[in-house]
A = this chain, B = another copy of it.
């Protein structure tokens, strides 16, 4: 296996990047997101619903309804989405699964994994998603 994010989280990240790559304030129906990203319709709906609860996106009901970012892309970081869906626990636990792993009782890869985890956190938190528009377009046709 060796996953890093859950499927839910991957899909959530993709969907938010998709919305950020479009015109600001443009409302995207779940149906469209489902088709463009090839994610089961009802599954992405549920994920978007939970991101709405977290305040990252907002929903608009009725005809011409859908989802849009709740704030400007320059205010959103990837880590916000990860935190909302998967949580941040894995950034604080031993990669080998040993209990109570700490600097004074380190596991065999404690220091190295610690450094990597910090880098991963930076990867997700140093830039806001408005910077990712171009690269998102590599992956999704809008």
Which of B9, B95, B120 is A116 in contact with, Cβ under 8 Å?
B120
Residues of B within 8 A of A86 (CB): 1-2
Which of B1, B78, B108, B139 is A98 in contact with, Cβ under 8 Å?
B139
Q: Total interface residues on A, using CB and 8 Å?
A: 46
Residues of B within 8 A of A14 (CB): 96-98
Q: What sequence of 0s and 1s flags, for each residue 98-142 of chain A, a beta carbon within 8 Å of any chain B beta carbon? A: 100100011111101101100110011000010110011011000
Interface of A toward B, CB cutoff 8 Å:
1-7, 9-11, 13-14, 17, 78, 82, 86-87, 89-91, 95-98, 101, 105-110, 112-113, 115-116, 119-120, 123-124, 129, 131-132, 135-136, 138-139
